[in-house]
Structure 1
Amino acid sequence: MSDMSECNEMAENAVQEIYRLSSYDYPLPEEQIAQQPAKQRDLSRLLVLDCLDNSRRHTQFETLYELLGPGDLLVVNNTKVFPARLFGRKETSGKVEMLLLQFPVYVKEEDGICQTTTQALIKSSKRPKLGSVLHFSDTLQARVEALLPDGKAEVRLFSPAHADLEQLLEQHGEIPLPPYIKRPEGSTQEDALRYQTKYARHIGSVAAPTAGLHLSNPFIKKLRDAGIGFAEVTLHVGYGTFAPVRCEDIRDHTLHKELIRVPEETAEAINTTRENGGKIWAVGTTTARTLEFAAGYADKMGRLRAIEELCGLYIYPGYRFKIVDNLITNFHLPKSSLLFMVAALAGKERLFKAYEEAVERGYRFFSYGDAMAIITKK
């Protein structure tokens, strides 16, 4: 083989490695999967990964404000997690657990009954039959309308006329924590408070945008007082975001679509910040995906505008970011689409060196864990 052919083969192998699912695995001791939130939101640890000088430093999240400057803009996802996990009984009296995969947005009142259709995962000793009714309380039942692939079902929820569905779920449901957070007795009152950002306003997610869990109200005020802008978008996090990637070539994976909103004031804040040379900081991968999707709707001058759309944007290495300069994020699961996105911004090799160091230094991982700040622009 000629030297040139050998070089070409090595280059091809390197490219393929970037897209190989197995290359996104990493060892993590189980004890480093955070089971509880930090005692105080902004007192978790922070690994700062500077992609400009290839440096890493270790600090506390509360020092993040030192990385931002006047004129920078912090953008967050203001979605609110709803109590999507319900426990009840089948008509045969057998126990059943149901996880709503999206918040029902359309409610129809008929004959003194509120009803709405949505999708859910149903867990029981035997799969409920088509047409069977599941009882969660005297005021909340569900009928199985269709059995779908992957254990999903289409269900019709029933409640009394004029009932507030959000309130009923608050009364009878639980916050759906990720399966790696072990709660044999179910989620707690502390989880209901801490697995929710301080600025959560628009209900619709089955999982929290966890990078935002580190932001306390005093910390946000400190940023504002320092001349740093604060803007909000909405992406309702669905179950599909956390679906396992099964394709060995990650390019073959697809994401399900999630509803996003970029309000006019946020679009204008981003446009002004960019025009004035400020940096756009995305808090979390959901915010980053929303902003990058919105870039596809920019006008001819590259200015963002308000949008409300279904977003299926899938970001993996090779993607060039158009809006996001810097990212605040948690540590993500091996072989996950969220890890691919972060690798696209930071560079895969650089990111995995940071992860290796985080494991060695005992960082806490995943939803209730510590954070990273990834810098690509100063």
Structure 2
Amino acid sequence: MKTSDFYYDLPEELIAQDPLEDRSSSRLMCLDKKSGELKHTNFKHIIDYLNKGDCLVINDTKVIPARLYGSKIGTNAGIEILLLKRKDGNVWETLVKPGKKAKPGTKISFGDGLLIGEVIDIVEEGNRLIRFSYEGIFEEILDKLGEMPLPPYITHRLQDKGRYQTVYAKHEGSAAAPTAGLHFTKELLEQIKEKGVNIAHVTLHVGLGTFRPVKVDDVEKHHMHSEFYVVEEDQAKLINDTKKAGKKVIAVGTTSCRTLESATDENGILQAKSGWTEIFIYPGYQFKMIDELITNFHLPESTLLMLVSALAGKENIMHAYEEAVKEKYRFFSFGDAMYIHD
């Protein structure tokens, strides 16, 4: 299976640069994964497809304002860093630009010394381990100094930090938003609950590996970056009970999908656990837990496009994307949504 099999042509003007004012007014393309049939509607109508007893699984991770702009102590050279993973205490794995200015021992000042970072090591792919020192609470300082780490294809500045968070974001730790969840409003979630649909939550802290292009020709040789996830006992029970009752488990986003598939055993039972996952889902994968998926439109040749192709069939997906381009759907993080259903 070649990476180039997942290429499609996308006019640049279809990449959504700004979020819509009303989250749930985005468009929704419904794709029947068996027949390949497509329907066009509005995201608010997702409720019409959900039935009593079904379970919607959301990822309640919260994006941290992980992009920091500082200056090198001693030379005042500008340095930009992106927090990727908290290693322990005040040590973070980071992406530093320009890297050549950040040798071990380098100290960087942020916010006129409100936060000081020292490069302590260089790890895989040139990432830097940085130890931070500060007074007060790290999260509060980050909230003051940091910017949302928007994906590279979004060139507009985000006016409201909250629009790159889901309305149910709770546990801080992501370098990117689980974007399928951005379409839900609190009102829509209430209506879904009133219909008798259960809403379960899992946590997966999204890493920037999500946006990393596949650089190998042979799909199977691509290595996924690890991401931390948590499935709690009561949530695992709710999801397993849904399955037992013959109802549908619908993942909101590829992150919820990867969490569920990582934590489900060979017998199709979801385990309450936490850990790191490097799961890579591409055509040929047999899904153990999810039945349906709500997701956004993904980049050409990306691992996420491969994941949705595994669920709906590559031909169906490529045809749906062709149609989405023709109908001028909005693509990627702030774009429209797709619902892959039975």
* TM-score tier (shorter): over 0.9
- Cα drift, residue 98 of structure 1: 0.6
The sequence identity of aligned pairs, in percent, is 46
2:241 match: 272
1:10 match: none
Alpha-carbon distance in structure 1 between the residues aligned to 2:12 and 2:287: 33
Alignment of 1:1-378 (within 5 A): 19-91=1-73, 92-102=75-85, 104=86, 106-107=88-89, 116-124=90-98, 126-137=100-111, 138-160=113-135, 163-183=136-156, 187-190=157-160, 192-296=161-265, 302-376=268-342
- Cα drift, residue 320 of structure 1: 0.7
Alpha-carbon distance in structure 1 between the residues aligned to 2:19 and 2:178: 14
Alpha-carbon distance in structure 2 between the residues aligned to 1:125 and 1:80: 27
Query: What is the root-mean-square deviation in Å for CA atoms of aligned residues?
Result: 1.4
Structure 1: which 5+ residue stretches go unaligned? 1-18, 108-115
Alpha-carbon distance in structure 2 between the residues aligned to 1:312 and 1:152: 18
Indicate conservation of the 8 Å contact 2:72/2:107, yes or no: yes
- Cα drift, residue 275 of structure 1: 1.4
Alpha-carbon distance in structure 1 between the residues aligned to 2:202 and 2:7: 31
Alpha-carbon distance in structure 2 between the residues aligned to 1:87 and 1:175: 12
- The alignment partner of 1:328 has SS state of strand
Q: Which amino acid aligns with 1:117?
A: V
**Which 10-residue stretch deviates more, 321-330 or 305-314?**
305-314
Indicate conservation of the 8 Å contact 2:99/2:126, yes or no: no
- Cα drift, residue 127 of structure 1: 2.3
Q: Which amino acid aligns with 2:32?
A: D
Q: Which amino acid aligns with 2:14?
A: Q
Structure 2: which 5+ residue stretches go unaligned? none
- Cα drift, residue 125 of structure 1: 8.5
Alignment: residue pair count: 340
- Cα drift, residue 152 of structure 1: 1.6
1:13 match: none
- The alignment partner of 1:181 has SS state of coil
**Which 10-residue stretch deviates more, 149-158 or 343-352?**
149-158
Q: Which amino acid aligns with 1:371?
A: A
Deviations 1:54-106 (A, max 9, x none): 2101000000000011011000000000010001111201111111112x363
Indicate conservation of the 8 Å contact 2:117/2:131, yes or no: yes
Give 1 or 2 for the bigger CA radius of gyration.
1
Q: How high is the TM-score relative to the length of structure 2?
A: 0.96
- Cα drift, residue 149 of structure 1: 4.5
